[in-house]
Amino acid sequence: MQIKDKTARRIRELPPYLFADLDRKVAEVRARGVDVISLGVGDPDIPTPSYIVEAMKRAVEKPENQVYPSYLGSLDFRKACAAWMKKRFHVDLDPEKEIIALIGSKEGIAHFPLAFINPGDTALVPEPSYPVYATSVTFAGGNVHWMPLKEEKNFTPDFASIPSNVAQNAKLMFLNYPNNPTSAGASKEFFEKAIEFASKHGIIVVHDAAYSEIYTGEDAPISILQISGAREMAIEMHSFSKTFNMTGWRIAFAAGNAEIIAALGKVKTNIDSGAFTAIQEAAVEALRGYDDFVPGMREIYRRRRDVLVNALNKAGIEVYPSRYTFYVWAKVPEGFSSMSFA
Ligand SMILES: *Cc1c(COP(=O)(O)O)cnc(C)c1O
């Protein structure tokens, strides 16, 4: 029997997951004894701070944390997330209705279209972007309409250039600021334009804010939920992965419009059984220690960024000037593609 012939189209037609490909290449070269500095996937090399690891050790021993978790996240976890959103962004959220725990934001993103996309529906996805947005739309049977991110627009989509029949039929739009991979930040004015556009056309907005705490300049990124009207059609996903160097732990949350959160909750309730309660307990502790840990980490990223950007500039490589995320978006010299240059 040819198993390959039996695989579903959604698997067969999938572009190769670039990061898996890179991992394989890096492993090959390392096996030959080469010391590789990975400039690939954004996975922090700084360990999870010990105060969080210690909290996890205590949490994992408690029998009450060893049973099936709450589907939506423990109330303690959701309350801590709401309190952090209030302190950080001055947004008031009801922890019971407007917050849901995720097993990493990738999980939330991947499941989200199942709640809103019927086969043939359209979703607006930035290009370039985190591959999960487009793949999850495709898995749900939807069509992706790409929104190019151009330097002249500071790597934000130009809503005016989206054909009106596409805008009219689009059900959902993904946004991500600070942006992977361009490092661009978004202004309040941009978010206002996005909400106005979404509101006019009845489009649900999912803002992926995985890098909201990774910035090395003066201006802290804002939340889309701070924009007036946003709570009528938007949710925002926040992850502990980059903020606390917890990529392996798989914990994040979505916040915003209660009906959208409930719809995502319905999908999740039928697919997974929630995030491990002990990890949620450690995540509560992570938020409690935010002020003691995160500013120091930002300082490390600032120093590293300056080293890399200065060296690239000296080598004559033009870098997009941004102080958001831990990515550097540089122009490939004339005569190369990004692949051939790398
Ligand atoms: C790293 C990253 C995430 C975080 O994913 P988790 O599943 O929470 O680890 C989400 N979105 C983008 C764009 C990222 O780069």
Same domain (yes/no): 161, 246: yes
Q: pLDDT band for position 195 (50/70/90)? A: very high
Same domain (yes/no): 174, 254: yes
Same domain (yes/no): 177, 116: yes
Q: Does any domain span residue 337? A: no
Q: Is 241 in the pocket of ligand 1 (CB under 6 A)?
A: yes
Q: Does any domain span residue 253? A: yes
Same domain (yes/no): 147, 217: yes
Query: H-type helices in the chain, by residue range?
Result: 3-6, 9-12, 18-31, 50-60, 75-89, 105-116, 132-139, 164-169, 188-201, 240-243, 258-271, 277-288, 290-314, 338-341
Q: What is the pLDDT of residue 43?
A: 81
Same domain (yes/no): 232, 208: yes
Q: Is 48 in the pocket of ligand 1 (CB under 6 A)?
A: no
Q: Is 210 in the pocket of ligand 1 (CB under 6 A)?
A: yes
> How many CB atoms lie under 10 A from the CB of residue 8?
9
Q: What percent of the chain has pLDDT above 90?
A: 88
Q: What is the pLDDT of residue 13?
A: 80
Same domain (yes/no): 130, 219: yes
Same domain (yes/no): 7, 151: no
- Looking up residue 228, the CATH number of its domain turns out to be 3.40.640.10
Q: Does any domain span residue 305? A: no
- Distance in Å, CA 42 to ligand 1 centroid: 8
Q: Is the pLDDT of residue 320 over 80?
A: yes
Q: pLDDT band for position 100 (50/70/90)? A: very high
Q: Which atom of ligand 1 is nearest to the CA of 130?
A: 13
The values of phi and psi at residue 140, to 5°, are: -80, 0
Same domain (yes/no): 58, 164: yes
Categorise residue 256: left if φ over 0, alpha if ψ from -120 to 50, beta otherwise.
left
Same domain (yes/no): 128, 244: yes
State pLDDT tens for residues 137-182. Answer: 999 999 999 999 999 999 999 999 999 999 999 999 999 999 999 9
**How many domains does the chain divide into?**
2
Q: Does any domain span residue 114? A: yes
Q: Is 106 in the pocket of ligand 1 (CB under 6 A)?
A: yes
CA 18/CA 135 separation, integer angstroms: 13
Q: To test the ligand 1 pocket, which listed residue (106, 109, 214, 247) has its Cβ within 8 A of the most ligand atoms?
A: 106
The values of phi and psi at residue 72, to 5°, are: -90, -10
Same domain (yes/no): 100, 180: yes
Average pLDDT, the chain: 95
- Bridge-partner residues for 326, per DSSP? none
Q: What is the pLDDT of residue 72?
A: 95
Q: What is the pLDDT of residue 26?
A: 87
Q: What percent of the chain has pLDDT above 70?
A: 99
User: In Å, what is the CA distance from 12 to each residue of 131, 136, 139, 171, 325?
Assistant: 16, 15, 12, 26, 33
Same domain (yes/no): 22, 56: no
Q: Which atom of ligand 1 is nearest to the CA of 242?
A: 1
The token pair that represents 16 in the structure block: 């190769």
Q: To test the ligand 1 pocket, which listed residue (242, 249, 253, 325) has its Cβ within 8 A of the most ligand atoms?
A: 242
- Distance in Å, CA 105 to ligand 1 centroid: 6
Domain of residue 233 covers 50-290
State pLDDT tens for residues 239-258. Answer: 999 999 999 999 999 999 99
- Distance in Å, CA 107 to ligand 1 centroid: 9
Q: Which atom of ligand 1 is nearest to the CA of 247?
A: 9
User: In Å, what is the CA distance from 271 to each residue of 74, 111, 114?
Assistant: 18, 9, 11
Q: What is the pLDDT of residue 15?
A: 76
Q: What is the pLDDT of residue 1?
A: 85
- Distance in Å, CA 210 to ligand 1 centroid: 6
How many residues in the chain?
Answer: 342
Q: pLDDT band for position 39 (50/70/90)? A: confident
Q: Which of 258, 290, 322 is the last residue of a domain?
A: 290
Residues 98-118, mean pLDDT to the nearest whole number: 98
Please tell me the residue having the least CA distance from ligand 1 atom 14: 210
Q: Is 247 in the pocket of ligand 1 (CB under 6 A)?
A: yes
Q: Is the pLDDT of residue 340 over 90?
A: no
Q: Lowest-confidence range among 11-20, 111-120, 123-132, 208-217? A: 11-20
Same domain (yes/no): 57, 15: no
The values of phi and psi at residue 317, to 5°, are: -100, 125
Q: 162 and 124 in contact (C-beta within 8 Å)? A: yes
Q: What is the pLDDT of residue 156?
A: 98
Q: Is the pLDDT of residue 110 over 90?
A: yes
Q: Which helix (H) or strand (E) holds 173?
A: strand 170-176
At 12, the amino acid letter reads R
Q: What is the pLDDT of residue 46?
A: 92
Q: Does any domain span residue 133? A: yes
Please tell me the residue having the least CA distance from ligand 1 atom 11: 210
Q: Is 142 in the pocket of ligand 1 (CB under 6 A)?
A: no
Q: Does any domain span residue 301? A: no
Q: What is the pLDDT of residue 342?
A: 76
- Distance in Å, CA 241 to ligand 1 centroid: 7
Q: pLDDT band for position 21 (50/70/90)? A: confident
Q: Is the pLDDT of residue 202 over 90?
A: yes
Q: Does any domain span residue 341? A: no
Q: Does any domain span residue 68? A: yes
Q: Which helix (H) or strand (E) holds 301?
A: helix 290-314
Q: Which of 290, 310, 332 is the last residue of a domain?
A: 290
Q: Is 254 in the pocket of ligand 1 (CB under 6 A)?
A: no
At 181, the amino acid letter reads P
What pTM, to 2 d.p., does this model score? 0.95
